[in-house]
């Protein structure tokens, strides 16, 4: 037969294990959650330029996207994973922008357009990879 002492120890350990020491010891309110809440999806989709499309210097590249919850956007050019430059900042989101490709741009088949929420840089999407010859 177990002694009262061992029963009390088992009860105390079980209480700490199942309810947490903060609640028992009075160390403030327990946190609501240690997991960060998910950011609401923005449905940011870049439609153009499309993967594999080839352009020439001097061409007008039509950039198109859908981002119904974003008010203003920034557009950047990347080559592979390297940032090249910003095409435009703080553009009212109407889903379209025409960019004239500079004549002095380096030829490559590894360009990408990045559409970014102007107010929240964590919200962004890349276009398909395209080329400039």
The rounded mean pLDDT for the chain is 82
pLDDT in tens, 61-75: 999 999 888 999 999
Contact of 70 with 116, CB cutoff 8 Å: no
pLDDT in tens, 82-127: 999 999 999 999 999 999 999 999 999 999 999 999 999 899 999 9
**What secondary structure does DSSP assign to 4-51, as a single string?**
HHHHHHHHHHHHHHHH-HHHHHT-SPPPS-SSPPPPPP---EEEESPT
Q: Tell me if the pTM is above 0.75.
A: no
């Amino acid at each position: 037969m177990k002694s009262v002492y061992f029963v009390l120890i088992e009860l105390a350990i079980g209480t700490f294990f199942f309810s947490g020491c903060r609640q028992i010891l009075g160390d403030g309110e327990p946190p609501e959650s240690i997991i960060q809440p998910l950011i609401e999806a923005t449905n940011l989709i870049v439609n153009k330029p499309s993967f594999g499309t080839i352009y020439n210097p001097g061409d007008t590249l039509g950039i198109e996207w859908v981002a119904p919850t974003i008010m203003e956007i920034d557009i950047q050019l990347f080559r592979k994973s390297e940032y090249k430059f910003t095409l435009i900042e703080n553009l009212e989101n109407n889903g379209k922008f025409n960019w004239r490709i500079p004549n002095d741009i380096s030829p490559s088949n590894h360009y990408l357009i990045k559409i970014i929420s102007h107010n929240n840089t964590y919200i962004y999407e890349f276009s398909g990879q395209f080329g400039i010859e």
